[in-house]
């Protein structure tokens, strides 16, 4: 589903556990947002969580496979949708193994305890396969991203792939 940005809709590829999965239910209660119900929910946890979950609540519990991007000129939403369907039918499940909670920037994330070649390969294929649909970042987007301290590799990834980290394989919570 596209999100509206200042320069038109942006698209991203996300994964989440099914609506009735215990992890989905728990994360929805903790965040105060149920992505499947398309709206806010009452947080079962203490109100102190309200402040720390403010940013993640906007998106709900998910794993980012391809960071948000605008479509490049000439690319269509239907072409992107078809490419996603084709990509999904040609991939085998990619088990992540045991997970751990980590701090990534200013948020918590569930990440694999160990990066496996299968996981790294899957993440790379998602980023590279859908790069053909991504419009280059405009000056405002670039300026916003460059406000963070990025090293040389992150800056290169930002320009080439539209995001400073090639793939974190994380699940935002």
Distance from C-alpha of 70 to C-alpha of 133, rounded to nearest angstrom: 8
Per-residue pLDDT at 4: 47
Q: Are 70 and 135 in contact (CB under 8 A)?
A: yes
Which pTM was predicted?
A: 0.75
Question: Phi and psi (nearest 5°) for 171?
Answer: -115, 115
Tally of domains within the chain: 1
Q: Is residue 136 part of a domain?
A: yes
- Res 42: pLDDT: 60
- With respect to residue 48, please indicate whether it lies within any of the assigned structural domains: no
Q: Classify residue 35: in a domain, yes or no.
A: no
| Residue 9: domain span | 3-16+61-172
What's the confidence (pLDDT) of residue 138? 85
Secondary structure, 3-state, the chain: CCEEEECEEEEEEEECCCCCCHHHHHHHHHHCEECCCCEECCCCCCCCHHHHCHHHHCCCCEEEEEEEEEECCCCCHHHHHHHHHHHHHCCCCCCCCCEEEEEECCEEEEEECCCCHHHHHHHHHHHHHCHHHECCCCHHHHHHHHCCCCCHHHHHHHHHHCCCCCCCCCEEC
**Model pLDDT, residue 44:** 53
**Is the residue at 23 inside a domain?**
no
User: Is 54 contained in some domain?
Assistant: no
Query: Which residue is listed with tokens 């918590």?
Result: 108
Q: Is 40 contained in some domain?
A: no
pLDDT value at position 173?
A: 37
CA pair distance 154, 160, nearest whole angstrom: 10
Q: Which residues of the chain have pLDDT under 50?
A: 1-5, 46, 168-173
Which phi and psi (to 5°) does residue 114 adopt?
Answer: -135, 135
Residue 9 CA to residue 2 CA, distance in Å, equals 5
């Amino acid at each position: 589903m596209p999100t509206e940005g200042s320069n038109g809709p942006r698209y991203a590829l996300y994964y989440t556990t099914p609506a009735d999965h215990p992890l989905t239910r728990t994360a929805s209660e903790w965040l105060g947002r149920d992505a499947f119900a398309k709206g806010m929910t009452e947080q079962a946890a203490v109100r102190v969580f309200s402040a720390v979950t403010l940013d993640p609540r906007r998106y709900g519990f998910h794993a980012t496979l391809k960071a948000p991007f605008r479509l490049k000129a000439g690319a269509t939403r239907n072409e992107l949708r078809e490419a996603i369907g084709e990509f999904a039918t040609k991939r085998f499940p990619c088990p992540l193994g045991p997970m751990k909670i980590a701090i990534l920037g200013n948020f918590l994330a569930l990440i694999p305890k160990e990066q496996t070649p299968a996981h790294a390969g899957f993440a790379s294929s998602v980023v590279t396969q859908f790069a053909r649909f991504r419009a280059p970042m405009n000056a405002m987007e670039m300026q916003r991203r460059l406000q963070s301290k990025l090293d040389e590799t992150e800056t290169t990834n930002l320009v080439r792939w539209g995001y400073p980290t090639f793939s974190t394989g994380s699940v935002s919570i």
